[in-house]
Amino acid sequence: MRPDQDMESKETAGLALELLEQSVVDLKSVGTDRPGIEVSEAVPLPEHGVSVVFVNLGNTKMELLHPLGSDSPITGFLQKNKAGGMHHICIEVDNINAAVTDLKKKKIRSLSDEIKIGAHGKPVIFLHPKDCGGVLVELEQA
């Protein structure tokens, strides 16, 4: 997928992890407890099947994801990637409906018909990794 003028990088990465608490401890041990760097508590998002720790590094944001519930969308990923890893990137768009319509014309599939409210309280939708160079991409409306 090639970002066009309707899209800009929001520089958010989602990392799927089996051991969420240990990962936060590890992050803090390498210096993310410094002023200006924010690490949230784990926030359960049952409608997305994940718990999320938000890490704001100033110029980059990360989401540490842990499965929540019996049918979490990240369970399969963690079964294949036992040590966890980079799960998705998030790209901010001005108008998510316009972006999805445009991408559809370019044969880039959404993983659902439904636009949900994401972790930041904004509309989100995921695109098929097979249509995005093997990367799972989340669109988030600004």
Ligand X SMILES: C[C@@H](C(=O)O)C(=O)SCCNC(=O)CCNC(=O)[C@H](O)C(C)(C)COP(=O)(O)OP(=O)(O)OC[C@H]1O[C@@H](n2cnc3c(N)ncnc32)[C@H](O)[C@@H]1OP(=O)(O)O
Does position 115 bind ligand X by CB under 6 A?
A: no
**CA dist., res. 110 & res. 69, Å (int):** 23
Helix (H) / strand (E) containing 90 = strand 85-93
Cα 25 to chain centroid, rounded: 21
Stretch that binds ligand X, among 2-10, 25-33, 96-104, 126-134 (CB under 6 A): 126-134
**CA dist., res. 123 & res. 108, Å (int):** 18
Nearest distance in Å: CB 59, ligand X: 19
Does position 88 bind ligand X by CB under 6 A?
A: yes
Among 1, 37, 102, 129, binds ligand X (CB under 6 A): 129
Q: Do the bridges between strand 123-127 and strand 61-67 make them parallel or antiparallel, or are there none, so unpaired?
A: unpaired
Does position 125 bind ligand X by CB under 6 A?
A: no
Does position 92 bind ligand X by CB under 6 A?
A: no
Q: Do the bridges between strand 85-93 and strand 7-16 make them parallel or antiparallel, or are there none, so unpaired?
A: antiparallel
Nearest distance in Å: CB 127, ligand X: 9
R_g over Cα of the chain: 15
Binding site for ligand X (CB under 6 A): 14, 45, 48, 50, 52, 63, 65, 73-74, 76-77, 87-88, 111, 118-119, 124, 126, 129, 134-136, 138
